[in-house]
Structure 1
Amino acid sequence: MKRKKGFLYIMGVGMAMSALLASCADDESFSTSRGDVLSFSVDTLKMDTTFSNVPTPTRSFWVYNRTGKALRCQSVRLENGNQKGYRVNVDGSYLGTEAGFQTQNVEIRKGDSIRVFVELTSAMQNSEEPQLVSDNLVFALESGVEQKVNLRAFSWDAMKLNSLEVKQDQLLESTLPVVVYGGIRVDEAATLTIAPGTQLYFHENAGLQVFGSLKIEGEKDREVVMRGDRLDHMFDYLPYDRTPGQWQGIRLMSSAHDCRISFADIHSAYDAVMIEAGDATKQKLLIENATIHNSQGYGVRIDSAKVQIYNSQITNCLKHPLYVEGGDVEVNGCTIAQFYPFDGRRESAIGFASPLPRFEVRNSLVTG
């Protein structure tokens, strides 16, 4: 009985304290003074450049109540409804179609804050240049004051490829960026030719596998660009485009033959160009006037194949920018440099394994 009474007594105190706290919260008054307003961590939420019809990463900002009283928003709404493609979550409430792209009665107690999450999937802009996509998130207070946070991004129309399999000779040419999901596979009997000025943006796990032949036919001032598809920043000072390992790179399989990479900019891959063993007496790959830069693995790795590399730059990889294991390899007029900044365990500029039937490096700068 004593234990039971003690238990009831403690329960009674706890309930009383809960009731007291609830009473204090309920008694807190909400200001309707036009002088009491919200503060925001940003005035403009910038989403970086994005491809049309491709969802952006989620961005967020904070809303603070730094006044001496609680504030209530009669509504928080997108000024243009959903005409621009923005998606917003305000303190757990999604501004969707059923709610008319708004939420109501959002309370922010004095000294408290809420977080707002924003994403964008913009429509096609019918332009070859990135176009501004802007909207305002409107916070309407009970006092009648309306405060706005501008949502801002540039949308870039793009051509999308999903798991492309090249079964016959094909020309890939586009004045718009080409966003690649799932990768590109070139079958043994086919040749893929990539036209001058074409820009390919590969998604995280996408790459280019060649069982047949590949012709990258860039020209001076109209290089073929191959890179990752992230257009935003890892940090304010570091775009994802400058970080390695953004896509899977190019792999020439054992059956690949008579490939050429000319006037190309290939960067920020995992392994940029991997060349599997084949018939080392037959031409496998010619690289000329190309830049291969910033790989998380190898720049160019050659396994018992016949390869020529002329007037090109191969730089900054965690592993060797150029690695040769057997075959017939000629390098002439190139820069091969190792200043990979992301890991102190980086390997030397050139690596090789014997036996090497023929490996010549002439008229070239090698450092690191």
Structure 2
Amino acid sequence: MKRLLYFFICFGLLIFWSSCRNDFEFSPSTGNLEFARDTVYLDTVFNNIGSSTYNLKVYNRSDEDIVIPTIQLERGNGSFYRLNVDGGTGNEGSPEEGKFFENVELLANDSLFIFVETTIDIAALPTLDNEFLYTDRILFDGGSNQQDVDLVTLVRDAVFIYPDFQGTSTVFENLNFDVDGDGMVDETSLPGRFLDNTELTFTNEKPYVIYGYAAVPEGETLTIEAGARVHFHADSGILVTNNATLNINGAASTDPQLLENEVILEGDRLEPLFEDVPGQWGTIYLFNGSVNNTINHATIKNATIGVLAEGNDDAVTDKLTITNSQIYNTSSFGILGRATSITAENVVINNSGQSSFAGTVGGKYNFTHCTIANYWNNSFRQFPALLLNDFTQVDESTIGTNPLVEANFNNCIVYGNDNPEFILDQQGDDFNFKFTNCLLRFDNSNLEGTTNYVFSDDTYYDSNIFNEDPDFKAPFDNLMNIGEDSGANGIGSTLFSMQVPFDLLNTSRAATPDAGAYESVILDD
């Protein structure tokens, strides 16, 4: 009985207290809202591809609860922007949804969030160009009380390459081709489609955006011209099939910031937040049987594996020749070779979740004036910057080996933030390698002096320097230029610098060349 009486007393006091409050009597806004910023910049988006979600915080600094009569987009229902005000879309189901809001309440000394997105059709804009600056305004109230915040987005037109959907579903079709070389078409789990003849040249006129794997048909060549920009959606890439070829034909640039003639391959998220995020897309897959692939003056970044090359280690010509190129921020490997043949000159690889370069299951590898570094700091990595082995696990009890015919590293830097930064994992009898005039990081008393790590044996090690600071400019930011105090300064052999007379920046190599892809310079503070 006492509990019941206590309940009615409390309930009555609550009713009396509420009836006396005027906190929920909202006054009209007087145009004194404050905003976290006066312009919301939605970073560059591709034509017809949705943006990320951006936010704007709106403040009521007064001591009164207010109601904002209207919040709307100046372009009205025709605007390509969409708003969400504190979780509401406004006039749901109508053409004004996400465009127009009425009587938005805002408590005294409180704030609300407005979330902004856009998907822009560049063909519907009054000026059709490869790039278009699209703007609008969020209007708060009207008349003398009106306030506004600008919205700005740079839109890029692009060439889109994507597979067909499976029937009426929203799932892309998978690639089907002869995987094992038996003459029969095999089903794969790779989403994508084969490029047609009109798509086998990527120019620099518009960026390319690829969904799934863009596959080069048997016997055909995909040519990517100087200055081209190729963007990949998640789990996408390029696949080069049997007797097909990839030629990336970048050229030296005059502006080291713009890299106007470089071919750049990266993800399709253009916001600064994603600029250096690893694993945004798949790989450039040089499938077993593809031939004479070349990559020159390219930057490959933010992939899972930058380049995956497999097979053809017994071919007369190399599977891949890569020159004057950079590979950064791969969540797994920069270059992964499997029983293949690769020649690399003036190549920089850095920041890989596993190894920057791995030559596995034997093969043939020749690297000259390359910087193979790994300053990965996103997580623990299992492998060093450079990994060589000659085997594969066939099943739980069987290891299959394949000869490492040759693996030569000349005038190179092999370094990183771990130790040691190269591992030579031999299982078979035919394991041939040599480091000549290189700067190497290896300081491990347990391994030094054992098989493959006898550094006094000039059959395998000739004129190398160990464990001296390479003096990279900013390796965690992929600035791999070396300073005058570098341990790589002047240690190179002219025998190899004559083969590669200019560095990655097209600077002539000195009479006493430096190891690595760059000649040393005076570094800025």
**Maintained 8 Å contact 1:271/1:295:** yes
In 1, the alpha carbon distance for the partners of 2:268 and 2:20 equals 52
Asked if 1:153 corresponds to 2:153, the answer is: yes
Following superposition, the deviation at residue 17 of structure 1 comes to 5.7
**Maintained 8 Å contact 1:53/1:123:** yes
Greater mean alpha carbon deviation, residues 94-103 or residues 181-190: 94-103
Structure-2-length-normalised TM-score? 0.62
Asked if 1:99 corresponds to 2:133, the answer is: no
Q: How does 1:203-242 map to 2 (within 5 A)?
A: 203-211=233-241, 212-221=244-253, 222-234=261-273, 240-242=274-276
Greater mean alpha carbon deviation, residues 178-187 or residues 91-100: 91-100
Going from structure 1 to structure 2, the CA distance change for 1:269 and 1:33 (only over 3 Å counts) comes to closer
Q: Which residue of 1 aligns with 2:325?
A: 290
Greater mean alpha carbon deviation, residues 159-168 or residues 264-273: 159-168
Q: Deviations over 1:72-125 (max 9, x none)?
A: 111111111144411111123325653373111111121332221110112315
Going from structure 1 to structure 2, the CA distance change for 1:27 and 1:273 (only over 3 Å counts) comes to closer
Q: Which residue of 2 aligns with 1:323?
A: 358
SS in 1 for 2:231: strand
In 1, the alpha carbon distance for the partners of 2:18 and 2:340 equals 76
Q: Which residue of 2 aligns with 1:76?
A: 71
Q: Which residue of 2 aligns with 1:51?
A: 46
Q: Which residue of 2 aligns with 1:118?
A: 116
Q: Deviations over 1:291-313 (max 9, x none)?
A: 11221111111111122112222
In 2, the alpha carbon distance for the partners of 1:274 and 1:225 equals 17
Following superposition, the deviation at residue 345 of structure 1 comes to 3.5
Percent identity over the alignment is 30
Q: How does 1:267-282 map to 2 (within 5 A)?
A: 267-282=301-316
Match of residue 337, structure 2, among 284, 294, 302: 302
In 2, the alpha carbon distance for the partners of 1:209 and 1:321 equals 21
In 2, the alpha carbon distance for the partners of 1:318 and 1:155 equals 33
**Maintained 8 Å contact 2:29/2:68:** no
Asked if 1:312 corresponds to 2:342, the answer is: no
**Maintained 8 Å contact 1:269/1:295:** yes
Going from structure 1 to structure 2, the CA distance change for 1:71 and 1:168 (only over 3 Å counts) comes to closer
Greater mean alpha carbon deviation, residues 180-189 or residues 220-229: 180-189
Q: Which residue of 1 aligns with 2:406?
A: 358
Following superposition, the deviation at residue 175 of structure 1 comes to 0.9
Give the strand-richer structure, 1 or 2: 1
In 2, the alpha carbon distance for the partners of 1:24 and 1:87 equals 40
**Maintained 8 Å contact 1:272/1:292:** yes
**Maintained 8 Å contact 1:168/1:189:** no
In 1, the alpha carbon distance for the partners of 2:108 and 2:144 equals 19
**Maintained 8 Å contact 2:366/2:409:** yes
In 1, the alpha carbon distance for the partners of 2:20 and 2:46 equals 50
Q: Which residue of 1 aligns with 2:430?
A: none
Structure 1 residue runs without a partner (length 5+): 235-239
Count of equivalent residues: 356
Q: Which residue of 2 aligns with 1:237?
A: none
Following superposition, the deviation at residue 208 of structure 1 comes to 1.4
**Maintained 8 Å contact 1:165/1:187:** no
Q: Which residue of 2 aligns with 1:185?
A: 215
Going from structure 1 to structure 2, the CA distance change for 1:41 and 1:251 (only over 3 Å counts) comes to same
Q: Deviations over 1:202-250 (max 9, x none)?
A: 112211122132121222232221011111132xxxxx12222121121
Following superposition, the deviation at residue 11 of structure 1 comes to 5.8
Following superposition, the deviation at residue 132 of structure 1 comes to 2.2
In 1, the alpha carbon distance for the partners of 2:137 and 2:15 equals 40
In 2, the alpha carbon distance for the partners of 1:217 and 1:251 equals 17
Going from structure 1 to structure 2, the CA distance change for 1:43 and 1:23 (only over 3 Å counts) comes to farther
Greater mean alpha carbon deviation, residues 191-200 or residues 9-18: 9-18
Greater mean alpha carbon deviation, residues 249-258 or residues 17-26: 17-26
In 2, the alpha carbon distance for the partners of 1:114 and 1:17 equals 32
Structure 2 residue runs without a partner (length 5+): 164-191, 254-260, 391-402, 417-525
Following superposition, the deviation at residue 47 of structure 1 comes to 1.0
Q: Which residue of 1 aligns with 2:369?
A: 333
In 2, the alpha carbon distance for the partners of 1:167 and 1:28 equals 63
SS in 2 for 1:315: strand
In 1, the alpha carbon distance for the partners of 2:16 and 2:209 equals 59
One-letter code aligned to 1:362: N
Following superposition, the deviation at residue 27 of structure 1 comes to 6.1
Going from structure 1 to structure 2, the CA distance change for 1:17 and 1:197 (only over 3 Å counts) comes to farther
SS in 2 for 1:45: strand
Q: How does 1:13-28 map to 2 (within 5 A)?
A: 13=9, 15-16=11-12, 19-20=15-16, 23=19, 28=24
Greater mean alpha carbon deviation, residues 20-29 or residues 253-262: 20-29
**Maintained 8 Å contact 2:211/2:233:** yes
Going from structure 1 to structure 2, the CA distance change for 1:140 and 1:247 (only over 3 Å counts) comes to same
**Maintained 8 Å contact 1:311/1:334:** yes
In 2, the alpha carbon distance for the partners of 1:114 and 1:145 equals 19
Following superposition, the deviation at residue 275 of structure 1 comes to 1.4
One-letter code aligned to 1:109: L
Greater mean alpha carbon deviation, residues 344-353 or residues 43-52: 344-353
In 2, the alpha carbon distance for the partners of 1:363 and 1:38 equals 63
SS in 1 for 2:281: coil
In 1, the alpha carbon distance for the partners of 2:307 and 2:52 equals 29
How large is the RMSD of aligned CA atoms in angstroms? Answer: 2.6
Structure-1-length-normalised TM-score? 0.87
SS in 1 for 2:275: helix
Following superposition, the deviation at residue 20 of structure 1 comes to 4.7
**Maintained 8 Å contact 2:240/2:285:** yes
